[in-house]
Chains A and B, each alone.
Chain A
Amino acid sequence: MELDNIEKLLEKYFEATTTVAEEKTLQAYFSQESVATHLEQYKPMFNFFSNAKEERYTKQVPLKPRKNYYKWISVAAVAVLSFGIYFGNEYQEKRQAEYAYQETKKAFELLAENFGKGTGKVAYLQEFEVAKQKIYNNN
């Protein structure tokens, strides 16, 4: 490739009027080892472009999991829900039993209190007995 042509192409290149094919010619020219000294400064530019084209996207694309995702979430949700209902019920029962116990205890306490009052009153009967004994003894 004669230098004259390359220089012309370069001029067109910077005016952005080259075709893709012409740009490929330029890239090919600058990719060789020896380049005319006054054009040396453009070498990094074209080398960079051809290097940049080599870069690859190497990560794996996770396409499948999306669909299973929802299925597993729903399974987990159902499990959590049933656990909640089961243990929730248990807790509820426990609380009800506790309440019943407290109420019974209260009722018994009331009963005991009233019995206490009753025996207090009955204690006076003792006085009667004492008085009766006195009378018997005197006779």
Chain B
Amino acid sequence: MKQAEFLNVVMPFKDKLYRLAKRLLVSREEAEDATQEILLKLWSKNESMEEYKNVEAFAMTMTKNFCLDRLKSKQAGNLKLVHSNYSDESTSLQGQLEAEDSVRWMERIMEELPEQQKMVLQLRDVEQYEFEEICDLLDMKPTAVRVALSRARKTVRQELVKKHSYGIG
């Protein structure tokens, strides 16, 4: 497979890889490194790539495994992921501040979720994959996916309601 061909295959879903990596690793730099690593790995396998039916699913699974390994080794090394990507590029309009604030809040809620729920929520509500695809990607049973998704959504709701009532009270 030539480089141009490879890029044509990879370009449509490279953002998805990055977003999944960022959801799991939180830090932008870490996620960029992970994505690059995955793309290079794919490139080194490009001869056998035609054999895979669904390159995107394959790459997503690779990303998932890579990030989970990464997290495990971080924990083993007793290191905490450092992230400082709460940048403030926008102007300081009140409305924008509020919107940004709630985005930040949501991000924090998402960080607190267990890894599996994080991934399910990311794949479903952000990337809008079908249930069967999620089952394949995460190697889970359909019922397990549904349970994890429902739990994740309910946790997010609960945290948001808490925040909402703070805001009023």
10 contacts between A and B (CB under 8 A): A14-B154, A20-B128, A41-B160, A41-B161, A47-B102, A55-B19, A57-B14, A61-B10, A63-B7, A66-B44
Q: Which of B14, B40, B106, B125 has the most A CB atoms < 10 Å from its CB? A: B125
- Among residues of B, the one whose C-beta sits closest to the C-beta of A43 is B102
Residues of A within 8 A of B156 (CB): 45
Q: Beyond A17-B146, A44-B105, is A53–B126 a contact (Cβ under 8 Å)?
A: yes
Name A55's contact: one of B3, B22, B36, B150 (CB within 8 Å). Answer: B22
Residues of B within 8 A of A29 (CB): none
Contact check, A52 vs B19: say whether CB atoms are below 8 A apart.
yes
Contact check, A64 vs B3: say whether CB atoms are below 8 A apart.
yes
- Among residues of A, the one whose C-beta sits closest to the C-beta of B148 is A16
Which B residues lie at the A interface, using CB under 8 A?
A: 3, 6-7, 10, 14-15, 17-19, 22, 32, 35-36, 39-40, 43-44, 99, 102-103, 105-107, 110, 122, 124-128, 130, 146-147, 149-150, 153-154, 156-157, 160-161, 164
A121 within 8 A of B: no
Q: What is the number of contacts between chain A and chain B, taking CB atoms within 8 Å?
A: 85
Q: Which of A20, A48, A55, A59 has the most B CB atoms < 10 Å from its CB? A: A48
Which A residues lie at the B interface, using CB under 8 A?
A: 13-17, 20, 23-24, 40-45, 47-49, 51-53, 55-57, 59, 61-64, 66
> Which DSSP category, helix, strand, loop or mixed, fits chain A's interface?
helix
Name A49's contact: one of B17, B40, B125 (CB within 8 Å). Answer: B125
Contact check, B157 vs A63: say whether CB atoms are below 8 A apart.
no
What's the least CB distance linking A62 to chain B, in Å? 8
Contact check, B150 vs A53: say whether CB atoms are below 8 A apart.
no
What's the least CB distance linking B40 to chain A, in Å? 7
Contact check, B160 vs A24: say whether CB atoms are below 8 A apart.
no
Contact check, B36 vs A56: say whether CB atoms are below 8 A apart.
no
What's the least CB distance linking B12 to chain A, in Å? 12
- Among residues of B, the one whose C-beta sits closest to the C-beta of A63 is B43
Contact check, B157 vs A14: say whether CB atoms are below 8 A apart.
yes
